[in-house]
């Protein structure tokens, strides 16, 4: 439960634990005559209400279901999460993924409400965008307008986003310019990086090398923007336990509990969304001010407001 310290500073311990709304997962299949642009994983609160919506883009060669525990944590605090499944071909164009994400965003206004339980309603005036790894780049590319959408995003989050050097056609668009604050975005941006993602795993190169990872994405973000580094964790430690263990064969992984990573990152995401979709800033500010309150070590934390 939330506590008060001697200075009456709010400590959002509850954000790092499952919320009181519950969470239910719904699989929406893409059929030949269906208007659904892609197979979807919907994660919605069980409690009756109207909730903000978060569009989530998964990472390279992963599946949306591999993030279910992380997304359930977020949803249980009062958010509807929509996670499309992109193609699994190794050389699929990133432009295709951005276009699919845009089509899903447009589908939200016509198809989301009918795909949810009757007592759960989406508030599309509070729509946020998030992605992990290559999906983080997909989220940025979509927010930057590389595929048009009818709805407007009010906030953008990225979990260990990664781009690539001078990309070939299949990983375009190239959105990094190496110019500080160059992203042409006026919405709040939150970035969660991992300290081990830039390290090689034996002879396997890092999945998020320096110069193309979370640090550069934050460098090019405009205020208001937040940066949190989970220094003791790796690139895929946000996944469900079994998938994180599988990914550890090809990338560095933290030694501590992956559940702590999901709880820590999930709490940050909820605090960010509360601040920038709901105007409730106490939770985010207290995470920034009182880092020991988080279940994982966050170092550094940077919050630029102007």
114 contacts: CB under 8 Å, gap ≥ 6: none
Phi, psi angles (nearest 5°) of residue 164: -150, 160
State the catalytic residue, choosing from 58, 160, 197, 253: 160
Catalytic-residue membership of 6 = no
How many Cβ atoms are within 10 Å of 180's Cβ, its own excluded? 12
* Share in percent of the chain as helix, strand, coil (round to 5): 30, 20, 45
Beta strands in the chain (DSSP E): 3-4, 10-11, 24-28, 40-44, 49-57, 80-84, 120-132, 155-159, 189-194, 225-230, 298-304
- How would you classify residue 201: left for phi > 0, otherwise alpha for psi between -120 and 50, otherwise beta? beta
CA dihedral 202, 204, 205, 207 (to 10 degrees): -110
Beta strands in 85-222 (DSSP E): 120-132, 155-159, 189-194
Phi, psi angles (nearest 5°) of residue 132: -115, 140
Q: At what angle do helices 282-289 and 258-278 cross, to 10 degrees?
A: 130
Catalytic-residue membership of 5 = no
Helix, strand or coil, per DSSP, at residue 10: strand
* Eight-class DSSP state of 201: B
Are 175 and 140 contacting, i.e. CB atoms less than 8 angstroms apart? Answer: yes
User: What is the spatial distance between Cα 233 and Cα 26, in angstroms, rounded to a whole number?
Assistant: 29
Beta-bridge mates of residue 84: 40
Catalytic-residue membership of 235 = yes
Rounded to the nearest angstrom, the gap between the alpha carbon of residue 283 and the centroid of all alpha carbons in its chain is: 18
Catalytically active residues are 133, 160, 235
């Amino acid at each position: 439960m939330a506590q008060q310290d001697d200075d009456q500073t709010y400590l959002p311990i509850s954000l790092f634990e499952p919320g009181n709304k519950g969470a239910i997962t719904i699989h929406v299949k893409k059929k030949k005559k269906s208007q659904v642009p892609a197979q979807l994983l919907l994660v919605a609160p069980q409690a009756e209400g109207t909730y903000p919506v978060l569009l989530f883009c998964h990472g390279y060669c992963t599946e949306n279901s591999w993030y279910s525990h992380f997304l359930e944590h977020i949803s249980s605090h009062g958010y509807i999460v929509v996670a499309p499944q992109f193609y699994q071909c190794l050389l699929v164009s990133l432009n295709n993924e951005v276009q699919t994400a845009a089509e899903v965003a447009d589908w939200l206004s016509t198809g989301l409400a009918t795909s949810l339980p009757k007592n759960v309603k989406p508030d599309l005036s509070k729509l946020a965008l998030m992605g992990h790894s290559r999906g983080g780049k997909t989220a940025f590319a979509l927010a930057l307008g590389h595929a048009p959408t009818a709805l407007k995003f009010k906030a953008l989050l990225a979990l260990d986003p990664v781009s690539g050097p001078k990309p070939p056609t299949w990983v375009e668009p190239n959105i990094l310019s190496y110019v500080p604050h160059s992203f042409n975005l006026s919405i709040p941006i939150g970035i969660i990086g991992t300290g081990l993602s830039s390290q090689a795993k034996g002879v396997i190169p890092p999945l998020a090398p320096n110069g193309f990872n979370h640090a550069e994405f934050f460098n090019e973000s405009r205020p208001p923007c937040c940066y949190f580094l989970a220094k003791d964790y790796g690139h895929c430690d946000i996944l469900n336990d079994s998938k994180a263990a599988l990914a550890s064969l090809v990338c560095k992984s933290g030694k501590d509990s992956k559940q702590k990573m999901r709880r820590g990152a999930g709490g940050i995401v909820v605090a960010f969304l509360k601040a920038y979709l709901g105007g409730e800033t106490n939770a985010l500010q207290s995470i920034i001010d009182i880092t020991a309150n988080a279940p994982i070590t966050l170092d550094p934390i940077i919050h630029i407001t102007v």
